[in-house]
Amino acid sequence: MHDPLTQAFSVGNWLTIWHRDPLRFEGKICRRDDDSCGWFTPPYSQAQRDAIKKLADQQYREIFAKQVAEREERSYAYVCNDPDCHSAIYWSWRAIKHLYRPRGIWQWGCKLTASEREHIYSLATCPVDNLLHVFREAKDERTFERFFFLVFAAYLRHARPWYRHPRWHVWHWRIQIHPIQQFKRWAFSRCGTCGRRFSWGYSPTTHSWNGTGPRWFRGERDVHHSQCLGHSISAANAGDGE
C-alpha cells in the first residue's frame, strides 16, 4: 500500500492541490495498488488484457522471426528478422495502435505521428530509462509478453488526451492552503518531547505514518522538534547500552 495522494498542482508557496485516489479497482487492471484512476498508466479491463496478450503471442513470431525459426530449426532462419530494441518497440507500438485504431490491413497501414516516433525512440535509447534490458530478456512468448505489455502501457499514456488525466478529477481534489496550515501548527501544536510551540513554518519530526496534520484548536499527535527527538533517541540508546 502506498500513499493515495499525488500532487496535482502547486500555486507558489501558499496553495497545493492534491489528487486523492479513491482506490476503486473493480473491473480495472492497474499497475499500482494506490492508483485506481491511472495517474501514471491508464487502467484497462480484463478483456483488453486478454486481447493484448493474444496480440503479443502473434507479434512475437513476427518481430522475433529469426529467434522462432532457429528454435524450430528452420533452414531459412538466416534470412528472418532479427530486431534491435528500437525496431521491436516500433512494430509492437504499431500493432497496438492498429488494434485500437484500425487503419488499412494489419499494422502496415497504421502510420505514426512524429510525437509517437520520438517517444518510441526515447523508449529504446534514453540513457536514464529505457526498455533495453527487458528487450534482451525476450527469449520466447512468455518473456516477450512482459516487454509487449510495457510498450502497451507506454502507448496508453501517450494516447490519453490531456484532459483525461486524473489531475483534472476535481471531485478527487484535496486543497492544502499553506498559510492556514502553518497558523494551525504554530497556534495549537506542541512538541511531544519538550512541550514548547513550533516556530512559524517549522516542519516537525514524527514517529508516525498516520499523522493527523495541523488541526483547529487541537494539537497534532506525536510531533517533535528534530533536536528534541534526537536527544530522546540518544538517551534511549544510552540506557539500552547500560
Q: What digits encode the pLDDT tens for the residues 173-210?
A: 999 999 999 999 999 999 999 999 999 999 999 888 77
CB proximity list for 236: less than 8 A, separation 6 or greater:
none
Give the strands of the sheet with 5-11, arranged side by side: 5-11, 15-20, 173-177
Three-state secondary-structure class, residue 53? helix
Per-residue pLDDT of 21-76, as tens digits, reads: 999 999 999 988 889 999 999 999 999 999 999 999 999 999 999 999 998 999 99
Number of structural domains (the chain) is 3
Three-state secondary-structure class, residue 64? coil
What pLDDT does residue 242 have?
Answer: 54
Q: Is residue 10 part of a domain?
A: yes
What pLDDT does residue 182 have?
Answer: 94
CB 33 within 8 A of CB 62: no
Q: Is residue 16 part of a domain?
A: yes
What pLDDT does residue 185 have?
Answer: 94
Same domain for 18 and 95, yes or no, is no
What pLDDT does residue 103 have?
Answer: 62
CB 186 within 8 A of CB 197: yes
| Residue 44 phi, psi dihedral angles, 5° rounding | -140, 165
Same domain for 29 and 100, yes or no, is no
Q: What mean pLDDT comes out for the span 135-144?
A: 94
Confidence of residue 240 (pLDDT cuts 50, 70, 90): low
Cell 534511549, located at residue: 236
Same domain for 145 and 172, yes or no, is no
How far is it, in rounded angstroms, from Cα 42 to Cα 28? 10
Residues shown for the chain: 242
What pLDDT does residue 101 have?
Answer: 78
Q: What radius of gyration do the chain's Cα atoms show? A: 26
The distance in angstroms from the start CA to the end CA of the chain is 39
Same domain for 120 and 99, yes or no, is yes
Same domain for 77 and 144, yes or no, is yes
Q: How many CB atoms lie within 10 A of CB 147?
A: 23
Q: Is residue 183 part of a domain?
A: no
Same domain for 59 and 150, yes or no, is yes
Domain termination site, one of 149, 177, 205: 177
Q: How many CB atoms lie within 10 A of CB 179?
A: 12
Same domain for 25 and 76, yes or no, is no
What pLDDT does residue 4 have?
Answer: 87
Grid cell listed for 54: 493474444
Q: How many CB atoms lie within 10 A of CB 108?
A: 10
Q: Is residue 184 part of a domain?
A: no
Per-residue pLDDT of 145-174, as tens digits, reads: 999 999 999 999 999 999 999 999 999 999
Least confident stretch, 128-142, 175-189, 207-221: 207-221
Same domain for 64 and 131, yes or no, is yes
Q: Is residue 148 part of a domain?
A: yes
| Owning domain of residue 124 | 46-159
How far is it, in rounded angstroms, from Cα 169 to Cα 156? 18
Domain termination site, one of 177, 206, 224: 177
Asked if the model's pLDDT at residue 235 lies above 70, the reply is no
Same domain for 73 and 26, yes or no, is no
Per-residue pLDDT of 69-121, as tens digits, reads: 998 999 999 899 899 999 999 999 999 999 987 665 566 667 899 999 999 99
Per-residue pLDDT of 1-16, as tens digits, reads: 567 899 999 999 899 9
Same domain for 197 and 140, yes or no, is no
What pLDDT does residue 209 have?
Answer: 77
